[in-house]
Amino acid sequence: MDTNQISANNPALTSWVAVSPNSDFPVQNLPFGIIKEDGNKRVASRIGDFCIDLKALFVLGYLENLNFELSDFDAEFLNSLMKKGKKAVRELRNRLSKLFSSDFTDLQKNQHHVDQILIPVDKVEMAMPVQIGDYTDFYSSREHATNVGTMFRDPNNALLPNWLWIPVGYHGRASSIILNEDVRRPKGQIKPDPNADPIYAPCRNLDFELETAFITFEGKPLGDRISTEEAEEYIFGMVLFNDWSARDIQTWEYVPLGPFLAKNFASSISPWIVTLDALQPFKVDGPTQEPEVLSYLKYEGQKSYDINLQVILQPENGEENLICKSNMKYMYWNMSQQLAHHTVNGCNVRCGDLMGSGTISGPTPDSYGSMLELAWKGTKPLKMSDGTERKFLQDQDTVIMRGYCEKNGIRVGFGEVRNKIIPAKD
C-alpha cells in the first residue's frame, strides 16, 4: 500500500467544521455509512457531529472527475461505491479531506450548499452500511483461546494442536447481523444437568464477544487466492463487532460441527465503516508467531493496529460500568493472514463480505473480551455500580462497545455499537 497517496491522513489538517477534541470523527477519519432521513437512504461520511451527504455533494458538483456516478451515492448500501475499488475510494476520501479542510474555502463560503451537505447526526437514522453476502468469524486471540481451553479442557495444554498453525474460523449467518437494535434472548436446547436429558428453554448464559470485523472489496475469481502481501488491497474498512453467544446452547450443540444456533441469533456491528486507509498511521507490530508460520501465511512489516477497545455494561436505569479494556494489537493472527488463509483453497470473497476477528482478549483479567472470561465461567461474578452482580448477561442489560486509535494528538474512532437485551419470547 502506497501510504504517500493518502493525503487525508495528514495529522496537520484541521477543518472548518467544528470538531470536538475527543470526537472519533476528525477530518483525518471520514468513514462511510448509510443514513436514513424521511424514509430515504443514501451514502454519507461523517465529520464531528455532522453527516456529510455524499449524494448532495455529488449533485452540487463537488465530486467531479472521480470515478463515481450518482447511483453510487443514491443507494441503500455501500456495495456499488465499493465495487469501484480501493483506488477510487481513496481518491474520494482524499477529495472529502480537501473539501472540509480549513485551507479550502470553496464549499465553506457557500452556506446554501453547506446547509444541504452537512446534516446533524441526531437528525438521521443509521442504516446497515453494506449488503453482506457472506460472514466468517475467526478465533484469533491467543489469550482468549488459552482462557477457554483452560476452563473447558486442560490448563496445561489449553490450545488445540492446530491453533498455532492456522487462523481457525467458521462460516456464520449474515442474515442476523444487525446495528444498534435490541437483542432478544434466544431459546434452544440446553443441558444444565450433565446427568439428565437436555431441556428446551431460554438461554441462561448469554454472553457478548468483543471483536472487530473487516469488510472486503470484490475479491478474485473462484480458484484464485489472495496473498498476505496483497490482502489489504482487498479490505475496504473495519467496524466494531459484537459476536453474541449463547454459551449453554453452544456447550451442548458444538460437537461435532461447531457453532450453530448459539451464534446465529444476532451479531452486531457499528454503523460507520472506518477505511483501512484511515487506520494506516496506527499500524503496530503484532505478537511474535512461534512456530514459524507456513509460507502462505508469512507477512512482512507491521502486522496489527493499535485500536483501543472497551466494553461497557449498563443495567436497566443504571450507570455505565466499564468492564473490559482491550486492544486489537493483541491479536495473534492478523487480518492479512486471515484473508490469505480464507482464500488459500480458492474460496472467492465478494464485495461486502464480513470477517470477524474473533474475541479480542488481552493479557490481563480486565482485558478479557467476554463475560465467560471476565467472570471466569461464573466463579468470579462482576460487581456493578448499582450493587448487583453478573455471571452472564441479564434481560434489560445494555452492552456498549467503543473503539478508537490515538496518536500524535489525532483520534480516529468507530463510534459505538449498543444493544439492549430483551426477554425471550414465550
User: Where in the sequence numbering do the catalytic residues fall?
Assistant: 144
Q: Would you call the peptide bond into 291 cis, given omega within 30 degrees of 0 as the criterion?
A: yes
Q: What is the distance between the alpha carbons of residues 372 and 164, in angstroms, rounded to a whole number?
A: 22
The burial class, CB within 10 Å (0-12 / 13-18 / 19+), for 311 is buried
Residue with cell 493479557: 363
DSSP β-ladder status, 177-178 and 267-269 = parallel
List Cα–Cα distances, 328 to 1, 76, 153, 244, in angstroms.
20, 30, 26, 18
Contact, 63 vs 95, CB < 8 A? Answer: yes
Sheet with 321-327, edge to edge strand ranges = 183-184, 410-422, 398-407, 308-314, 321-327
Residue of 98, 34, 115 whose CA lies nearest to 63: 98
Residue with cell 477497545: 309
Residue of 85, 77, 101 whose CA lies nearest to 13: 101
Residue of 210, 202, 212 whose CA lies nearest to 239: 212
Instruction: Look at residue 341 and give its three-state secondary structure.
Output: helix
Q: What is the distance between the alpha carbons of residues 61 and 41, in angstroms, rounded to a whole number?
A: 20
Q: What is the distance between the alpha carbons of residues 356 and 338, in angstroms, rounded to a whole number?
A: 10
The enclosing H or E element of 45 equals strand 40-47
- Quote the DSSP letter at residue 251: H
